[in-house]
């Protein structure tokens, strides 16, 4: 079983097949409480907010709603499958569900952490070319190249918009994915588009994040679309990604490293220094956990 986001299942968006836009999405996923305000766990100090994303699965046990659960086969280890429910789903879904590029489409991905690399893998699977990645970390850029990016741009020392236009004969790319959402990055992702073109805004810098764009640039058929959870119905996208993985078209295991729970500090340090993209903690009777 893979756990993903929660939704009410009753509002107009949920009944229309858009659970990622559930009218109660924020309350059900980001408050740590259930819809009625209760929590799955209490201690001597009172309620413990143990219902983030409807399941708070960063633990040896989790209480989850049925809507959060996606049934998967037993042939792959859960440690590998865990990240599918959020970050990998978000990046891959932004490409496969939102942008839906045709083979040969040009795309640029801004920010290649786990979400961005999942977008790169999806772009490769969709047959995009060129696939340009932009980041400030050389190790992340190298990883993206290994996973199929055709061009890499270190924006700490180069103008990404200018380079992307140079790489595309002055036109820009048909699609961009902004995984950062800092104003300077969002503007670069929009300004890198050709006309027409679409930017999928995936990153999140908090509920208040003002970005100034040139409206005249948008007039010529350019679109900016916000994406939550990869516009994914988890019960549909996760099996699709696993099918692609089994076919060798979505090797998401290459961006995951596992660490025993006892090595949590090492895992955090590895992420901070860029030695791993997606760290997954595993529990066992030998590492001091109770599962």
Condensed to tens digits (0 to 9), the pLDDT of residues 139-192 reads: 999 999 999 999 999 999 889 999 999 999 999 999 999 999 999 999 999 999
Q: Write down the pLDDT at residue 260.
A: 92
pLDDT mean across residues, the chain: 93
Cβ–Cβ under 8 Å, residues 185 and 86:
no
Residue 150: HSE in the Cβ half-sphere, 13 Å Cα cutoff: 16
Is residue 76 a part of any domain in this protein? no
Is residue 250 a part of any domain in this protein? no
- Residues 173, 100, single domain; the answer is yes
Q: Write down the pLDDT at residue 74.
A: 85
- Residues 91, 227, single domain; the answer is yes
Strand partners, 257: 279
- Residues 97, 63, single domain; the answer is no
Domain boundary among 71, 95, 115: 71
Is residue 221 a part of any domain in this protein? yes
Residue 290: pLDDT band (50, 70, 90) is: very low
Task: Report the C-alpha gap between 6 and 121 in whole angstroms.
Answer: 25
pLDDT digits (tens, 9 = 90+) for 214-243: 999 999 999 999 999 999 999 999 999 999
Average confidence (pLDDT) over 51-58 = 87
**Residue 38 reports pLDDT greater than 60:** yes
Task: Report the C-alpha gap between 28 and 95 in whole angstroms.
Answer: 25
Query: Positive or negative CA dihedral for 79, 138, 203, 205?
Result: positive
Query: Domain limits at 274?
Result: 256-290
- Residues 97, 226, single domain; the answer is yes
Q: Write down the pLDDT at residue 291.
A: 38
pLDDT digits (tens, 9 = 90+) for 192-206: 999 999 999 999 998
CATH number at residue 219: 3.40.50.720
Average confidence (pLDDT) over 256-261 = 93
Q: Which of 39-48, 153-162, 205-214 has the lowest mean pLDDT?
A: 39-48
Strand partners, 260: 282
98: DSSP letter: I
Q: Which residue has the higher pLDDT, 50 or 250?
A: 250
**Residue 253 reports pLDDT greater than 70:** yes
> H or E segment at 119?
helix 114-126
- Residues 65, 98, single domain; the answer is no
Number of domains within the chain = 3
**Residue 259 reports pLDDT greater than 90:** yes
> Which residues 6+ apart lie within 8 Å of 78 measured at CB?
1, 2
| Residue 284 burial by Cβ neighbours in a 10 Å radius (0-12, 13-18, 19+) | exposed
- Residues 22, 156, single domain; the answer is no
**Residue 281 reports pLDDT greater than 50:** yes
Is residue 21 a part of any domain in this protein? yes
Q: Which of 18-22, 31-35, 116-120 has the lowest mean pLDDT?
A: 31-35
87: DSSP letter: H
Q: Which residue has the higher pLDDT, 125 or 82?
A: 125
- Residues 34, 98, single domain; the answer is no
Average confidence (pLDDT) over 64-72 = 92
Tokens of 41: 């766990």
- Quote the pTM value: 0.93
- Residues 182, 115, single domain; the answer is yes
- Residues 98, 217, single domain; the answer is yes
Q: Write down the pLDDT at residue 37.
A: 86
Residue from 241, 192, 206, 212 nearest 86 by CA: 241
- Residues 192, 128, single domain; the answer is yes
Is residue 120 a part of any domain in this protein? yes
């Amino acid at each position: 079983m893979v756990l993903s986001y929660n939704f009410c299942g009753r509002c107009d968006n949920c009944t229309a097949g858009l659970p990622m836009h559930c009218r109660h999405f924020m309350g059900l996923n980001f408050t740590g409480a259930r819809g009625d305000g209760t929590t799955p766990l209490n201690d001597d100090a009172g309620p413990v907010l143990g219902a983030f994303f409807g399941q708070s699965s960063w633990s040896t046990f989790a209480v989850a709603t049925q809507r959060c659960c996606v049934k998967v086969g037993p042939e792959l280890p859960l440690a590998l499958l865990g990240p599918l429910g959020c970050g990998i789903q978000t990046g891959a879904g932004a490409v496969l569900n939102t942008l839906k590029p045709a083979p040969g489409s040009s795309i640029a991905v801004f920010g290649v952490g786990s979400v961005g690399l999942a977008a790169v893998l999806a772009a490769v699977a969709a047959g995009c070319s060129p696939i340009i990645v932009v980041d400030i970390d050389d190790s992340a850029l190298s990883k993206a190249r290994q996973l199929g990016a055709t061009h890499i741009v270190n924006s700490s020392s180069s103008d990404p918009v200018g380079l992307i236009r140079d790489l595309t004969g002055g036109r820009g790319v048909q699609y961009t994915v902004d995984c950062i959402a800092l104003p300077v990055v969002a503007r670069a992702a929009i300004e890198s588009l050709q006309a027409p073109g679409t930017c999928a805004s995936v990153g999140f810098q908090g509920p208040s994040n003002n970005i100034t764009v040139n409206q005249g640039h948008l007039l010529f058929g350019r679109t900016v679309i916000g994406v939550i959870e990869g516009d994914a119905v988890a019960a549909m996208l996760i099996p699709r990604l696993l099918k692609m993985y089994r076919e060798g078209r979505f090797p998401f295991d290459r961006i995951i490293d596992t660490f025993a729970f006892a090595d949590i500090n090492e895992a955090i340090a590895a992420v901070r220094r860029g030695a791993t993209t997606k760290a997954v903690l595993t529990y066992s009777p030998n590492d001091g956990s109770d599962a």
